[in-house]
A and B are shown apart, each in its own frame.
Chain A
Amino acid sequence: MNQTSQMTVSDEVAIEITNMNKWYGTFHVLRDIDLTVQRGERIVICGPSGSGKSTLIRCINALEEHQKGKIVVDGTVLSSDLKNIDKIRSEVGMCFQHFNLFPHLTILENCTLAPIWVRKTPKKEAEETAMHFLEKVKIPEQADKYPGQLSGGQQQRVAIARSLCMRPRIMLFDEPTSALDPEMIKEVLDTMIELAEEGMTMLCVTHEMGFARQVANRVIFMDAGQIVEQNEPEEFFNNPKSERTQLFLSQILGH
């Protein structure tokens, strides 16, 4: 399974985070985060709950505001300027734990909404693109249904297709399988693996260690708002350096 992790990673920098800090009120959630992501890299972020992993990736598309430090996404510096934020968001796709599909729109409308309104794509073209990606996540036949009529796994795959319709250069996954039944986790992970194989730059917050081993170039372990350890998956799982990582791995792999 190692051929995926050996796929070429370009020298081009996709995301560069320097000395980023964030507080919720007085609570220091992210401390001195430094992270550089190359184009084509696939990074898995893990760690105990409350360690700031979701907050970290949500800072990348400005769903959360950071108070100190610098984030550069695709050459655009993330500032409070709304134009920059919208530009970055249209280049960065995101999948959420609870899918967050728009329940009042059909699957097809969910997928075409942003291309039509943000990218100003003609409706017909947007629909073709949407069908292309729905086929890719293997649910084209559901296009005219509403999200409420689909299973969790199907909804998450639609959410992935919805993001892909914007042709993002980077994809963020915020615990995409945590709200799913075990049966459905696989179908979502398969979609993500396929995406990784195509060379998408991905940052995944997930507890699926099998997925991490299979596709990640790098695994990052976070605790208490800091990056505690990062390494290639083999090294990370077989030879964790920090005590905290060892404890965490023994807890999630122990049974």
Chain B
Amino acid sequence: MSDTHAQTVAFVRETEIPQSPPPALEAGAVKWVRENLFSGIFNTVLTLLALYVVVRFAIFVFPWFYNGVWEASSRKECLDILREAGKGTGACFAVLVDRWDHLVFGFKYPQDGYWRILLAFLLLIVAAGPALFSSLPRRMLLFTAFYPFLAFWLVWGGSLWLPLTILGLIIATMLVFRLISSQIPVNIRQIVSGVIGVICGAGLAYLLFIGAQELVFIANSVGTEGMIAPIAYGVFWIMAIFAFVFCVPMGIFVGYAIYNSYEDGGLVSIVASLLFGYLAFVYLLSPIWMALNSIIPIELQAVASRDMGGFMLNMLLGTICVSLSIPLGILLALGRQSPMPLIKGVCVVFIEFIRGVPLITLLFVANVMLAYFLPPESNFDLILRVIIMITLFSSAYIAEVIRGGLAALPKGQYEAADSLGLDYGQATRLIILPQALKISIPGIVNVAVGLFKDTTLVSIISMFDLVGMIRGPIQNSTEWTSVYWEVYGFGAMLFFVVCYSISQYSQWLERQLNTSHH
């Protein structure tokens, strides 16, 4: 028993014990080394073993790097230089110097257009800034919105008026939406709703009617001969009868639903703006940009999609597909949670189908199969097809990641948002998504990094991305056959730099968004 407690249990402390530094062995680097490297016999052995491996590896690799030849025109020349210098081992980095343009830009992109790619890349950094760092001024987001159109022009060339006209039509479509949903008085909107309801109802009924006739035609051409044909014949006839019976009621139903939305204007403004957008793109796009271009021609040399290549192609596919698949993934995740069975069903089937199919299959479909399904005269760009496939692929994965985030949110967050009177859109946008996305960051980044690396798969469908470039034109050339470590190592380094930056950014973002303790 200490003195304090000797006489009595009552005790009052009168002086504060001053702070003192921890013992020397319990602080700083010494502590770290003791705890992490030499905390026991087993760990000490492991540490020494690891140290040995690292040193041996460095001894092996370092001369290879150090002796590397940077100036030579072929692998043979490299070896000659090394032999003359009396060095046993050395890398032949000359291949990187010699084929730098090919590795970065592909071998067909016009050389005097390299500045366009570099400029697009620099501007990408400026455009991505405000989207990635919330401390940058919000006004820069305007440039971010404008960037895709500018970058399209820089990379593909052609007339600047084409992307500008597309942008203009998109803005016009949005203005139509604004106009109908909030700017015109209700009685005018009622008339507009009526007109659009009639158009859409009649159009839908007509389409169903045509479809029904098509189905009858297919049924008759299948015929009733053989084992399976009668079943198909029956199925097509049943579908045709359904379409015949329901074409008018469906038309009336949809038309009335559009008309009926005139009070709050939600449905009618969406339908009207989509209708406007579609018509504008079909009938206005080419006349307008061509007319503008003939007045003030602003053109760059046009580059065909098949001429894109090198690491630029990977960056192109990576950035476009990531930025498209995140919004699509969000919509799919929300759709999968929807109480409406049709929407939910479509999303579930889509996600499960895509997740069940390897990306390489989808790429083959994009490359070969789509050509069979599309009308022969349609000239559907290969890169566009690949972008669509990769985007669909990764959006399914991102949707599942975000669904996990949505599921992790306490039910109380939904209830609190509801109880304040926020509607579904507001609650989702302001309360649910910011939190769900924050939880999903590691998963989304995981998919994004995977996607970026998967862009090298396009080398299999004969596109010359970085890997395609190395496997094809470089290693098949007489000068650089059997150069492996240098080129693939360089490729790995490029990918590592990008992927590691993405991962570092995501960790920084997670720390930024952490509001639980500062």
Q: Which residues of A contact B (CB under 8 A)?
A: 61-63, 82-83, 86-87, 89-90, 92-94, 96, 98, 100-104, 113-114, 117-118, 146-149, 162-163, 166
Contacts and interface: CB of A to CB of B under 8 A. Distances in A.
B516 A104 contact: no
Given A63-B418, A100-B412, A86 B423 contact: yes
19 contacts: A61-B418, A62-B418, A63-B415, A89-B419, A89-B420, A96-B416, A100-B415, A103-B516, A104-B515, A113-B431, A114-B420, A114-B421, A117-B426, A118-B420, A118-B422, A146-B515, A148-B515, A149-B517, A163-B419
Contact of B518 (A98, A149, A162): A149
A100 B410 contact: yes
A54 B413 CA distance: 17
Contact of A90 (B421, B435, B513): B421
Contacts of B416: 94, 96, 100-102
A104 B422 contact: no
B51 interface: no
Contacts of B410: 98, 100
Contacts of A113: 420, 422, 430-431
Contacts of A94: 416, 419
A106 to B, nearest CB: 8
Interface residues of B, number: 24
Contacts of A149: 515-518
- Interface-central residue, A82, A96, A114, A166, by most chain B CB under 10 Å: A114
Contacts of A163: 419-420
Interface majority SS (helix, strand, loop, mixed), chain B: helix
A140 to B, nearest CB: 19
Contacts of B234: none
A188 B438 CA distance: 31
A100 B417 CA distance: 9
Contacts of A101: 416
A126 to B, nearest CB: 13
A104 B405 CA distance: 14
B513 A104 contact: yes
A117 to B, nearest CB: 5
A162 B517 contact: no
Given A100-B410, A103-B516, A166 B415 contact: no
A102 B413 CA distance: 7
B434 interface: yes
Contact of B418 (A89, A103, A117, A162): A89
Contacts of A103: 435, 515-516
Interface of B: 264, 410, 412-413, 415-423, 426, 430-431, 434-435, 438, 513, 515-518
Nearest to B431: A102
Q: 3 smallest A-B Cβ distances: which pairs?
A: A90-B421, A100-B416, A148-B516
A113 B515 CA distance: 17
Contacts of B415: 63, 96, 100
A31 B209 CA distance: 51
Contacts of A114: 420-422
B517 to A, nearest CB: 6
B516 A166 contact: no
Contacts of A166: 420-421
Nearest to B420: A114
A24 B517 CA distance: 39
Contacts of A86: 421, 423
Contacts of A87: 421
A98 B418 contact: no
A71 to B, nearest CB: 15
A96 B417 CA distance: 12
Contacts of B430: 113, 117
Nearest to B416: A100
B412 A148 contact: no
Nearest to B417: A102
A117 B422 contact: yes
A100 B422 CA distance: 15
A11 to B, nearest CB: 27
Contacts of A100: 410, 412-413, 415-416
Given A104-B435, A104-B515, A149-B517, A98 B412 contact: yes
Contacts of B438: 104
Contacts of A102: 413, 416-417, 431, 435
A93 B434 CA distance: 23
Contacts of B517: 148-149
Nearest to B435: A104
Given A61-B419, A103-B515, A148-B516, 17 more contacts: A61-B418, A86-B421, A86-B423, A89-B419, A89-B421, A94-B416, A102-B435, A103-B435, A103-B516, A104-B438, A104-B515, A118-B421, A148-B515, A149-B517, A162-B420, A163-B420, A166-B421
A92 B413 CA distance: 17
A236 B81 CA distance: 103
A157 to B, nearest CB: 15
A63 to B, nearest CB: 5
A61 B264 CA distance: 22
B426 A118 contact: yes
A64 B421 CA distance: 14
A101 B518 CA distance: 18
Contacts of B435: 102-104
A222 B426 CA distance: 36
B429 to A, nearest CB: 9
A112 B418 CA distance: 15
A106 B407 CA distance: 23
A90 B435 CA distance: 23
Nearest to B412: A100
A147 B413 CA distance: 13
A103 B416 CA distance: 12
B513 A96 contact: no
A169 to B, nearest CB: 13
Contact of A96 (B412, B434, B518): B412
Contacts of A148: 515-517
Nearest to A102: B431
Nearest to B411: A100
- Interface-central residue, A87, A92, A102, A166, by most chain B CB under 10 Å: A102
A120 B434 CA distance: 21
Nearest to A64: B415
Nearest to A165: B420
B419 A104 contact: no
B239 to A, nearest CB: 33
Nearest to B427: A117
Contacts of B420: 89-90, 113-114, 118, 162-163, 166
Contacts of A82: 423
A163 B415 CA distance: 13
Nearest to B434: A104
A3 to B, nearest CB: 31
- Interface-central residue, A89, A92, A101, by most chain B CB under 10 Å: A89
A116 to B, nearest CB: 10
- Interface-central residue, A94, A117, A147, by most chain B CB under 10 Å: A117
